[in-house]
Amino acid sequence: MNDDRIRTIDDTEAAALALRPLTARSIVLSTLLGHHPPQLPARALVRVGELFGIAEGTVRVALSRMVAAGDLRQTDGSYALTTRLLARQTRQDESRTPQTVPWRGGWEIAVVATPERRPAAERTALRQAMAALRLAELREGSWLRPANLDRPRPAVVTDQCTWFTGTPDDDPAALAGRLWDLGGWAGRARALSAALDRAGTHADRFTVAAAALRHLLADPLLPAELLPEDWPGAQLRGKYAEFEAELRDLLRQYLAG
């Protein structure tokens, strides 16, 4: 990372960006989510924690708690993500390098086709799955998005919904603007890109980059025809890719030392 950076993220800016505090758990989780395969020896995770000023004992306590919580599994002195977090890693990877197909004007439409009195757990699971698929809810039980993404539909949505492909009669860009807060997403993306440029310490860069990656998960990944001008999605992805390359090189040097 560039040691010439001297500016740090102050409390006011951190609050404005809704940055999450850097903890042993967040360091371990972010490190494994960004590592392929997502498994590292305990000593490597301890050294990563030390890089950000987290004591060895604190990291080891966090590892034990994450195993107990079902976030990690331990095998022969190494720690790996569990199935639930592997799914999160997949979503993060897709948000950084989305699998798109040419858009021909069609929209995916999903309508809930099960009895109205569904258990709360099923409704929650459906909402989470629709968010992961980047569909927006037009009204209760009706979800849609432009048909420009190539990804499988999990059973939780195919079991509860009937799927169609259609086109809106009105302006599709106006419809997209009603379904997603595009201005809000773009404003925060620009702020995070600028914060990554200004961050002056490893810890600040790590914290802002983690927020940027979370924000990319909320990018609706719309076709260019439906986006406002100067959409900052590609810029934020590029900034995150730069950070990831810097961090990978830094960790390689640090862990080899």
Nearest partner of 73 among 120, 43, 38, 44, judged by Cα: 38
Who contacts 24 (Cβ-Cβ below 8 Å, separation ≥6)?
Answer: 49, 54, 58, 59, 61, 62
- In order, the DSSP letters of 166-192 are E--SS-HHHHHHHHS-HHHHHHHHHHH
pLDDT, tens digit (0-9, with 9 covering 90-100), for 49-107: 998 999 999 999 999 999 999 999 999 999 999 998 999 999 999 999 999 999 999 99
pLDDT, tens digit (0-9, with 9 covering 90-100), for 176-212: 999 999 999 999 999 999 999 999 888 899 999 999 9
Q: State residue 245's pLDDT score.
A: 92
Q: State residue 4's pLDDT score.
A: 42
pLDDT, tens digit (0-9, with 9 covering 90-100), for 211-242: 999 999 999 999 999 999 999 999 999 999 99
Which residue bears the tokens 């948000």? 95
**What is the b/e burial string over 28-46, where b = at least 16 CB atoms within 10 angstroms of the residue's CB?**
bbbbbbbbeebebebebbb
Q: What is the mean pLDDT of residues 10-15?
A: 74
State the pLDDT confidence band at 7, using cuts at 50, 70 and 90: low
State the pLDDT confidence band at 108, using cuts at 50, 70 and 90: very high
Q: Output the CA–CA distances (angstroms, integers) from residue 57 to 46, 50, 54, in the order listed.
A: 9, 10, 8
Q: Give the long-range contacts of residues 15-23, CB within 8 A, separation 24 or more.
A: 16/191, 17/188, 17/191, 17/192, 17/195, 17/208, 17/211, 18/211, 19/207, 19/208, 19/211, 20/207, 20/210, 20/211, 21/207, 22/52, 22/54, 22/203, 22/206, 22/207, 23/54, 23/62
Q: Which helix (H) or strand (E) holds 107?
A: strand 107-112
Structure tokens at 193: 């890109």
CA dist 26 and 190 (Å) reads 23
Q: What is the mean pLDDT of residues 113-130?
A: 88
In this structure, what are the phi and psi dihedrals at residue 111, rounded to the nearest 5 degrees? -125, 130
State the pLDDT confidence band at 5, using cuts at 50, 70 and 90: very low
